[in-house]
Amino acid sequence: LIPEFIGRLPMIATVPKLDEHALERILIEPRNALVKQFRRLFELDGVQLEFTDGAVRAIAGKALERGIGARGLRAILEELLLDVMYEVPGMPDIGQVVVTEQAVRGEDRPELLTRQQLAERTELSA
């Protein structure tokens, strides 16, 4: 059913307020989850996008603090990644962007790892 039609039905349903865990799940679990959408955007430039568990928790926590719920998650991600999304296409040596809890809190920027750093990490873990 289309939203315009649903809006005409004289029914009201209340739902409980979302908690931090529910917002975390909204970020990562659905087929079209925001984290998956942003990963796909970065993949178009040949760059991996990773979020630490702490970053996901911090994003959900920030949405709760602002009182914007699930609809505000996209705004938080865009605010967090906007500069990086413009910088990365002009930096062909970048292979991965890692979003940390500190980056979400504004204490640091997302980590930009070069392809060489990724290769070295892979060699060390092998």
C-alpha 114/C-alpha 99 separation (Å) is 15
Whether 7 maps to a domain, the answer reads no
- Region of 34 on the Ramachandran plot (φ > 0 left; ψ -120 to 50 alpha; else beta): alpha
pTM for the predicted model, two decimal places? 0.83
Q: Is residue 117 part of a domain?
A: yes
Instruction: Residue 70: give the domain boundaries.
Output: 17-125
Q: Judge whether 8 lies within some domain.
A: no
35 lies in some domain: yes
Does any domain span residue 12?
no
**Which portions of the chain are predicted below pLDDT 50?**
none
pLDDT at 1: 61
User: What φ, ψ does residue 94 adopt, rounded to 5°?
Assistant: -80, 130
Tell me, yes or no, whether 6 lies in a domain. no
d(CA 70, CA 74): 8
pLDDT at 10: 77
Q: How many domains in the chain?
A: 1
Q: What is the pLDDT of residue 71?
A: 87
Distances (CA, A) of 58 to 51, 102, 124: 11, 9, 29
Residue 107, SS3 per DSSP? coil
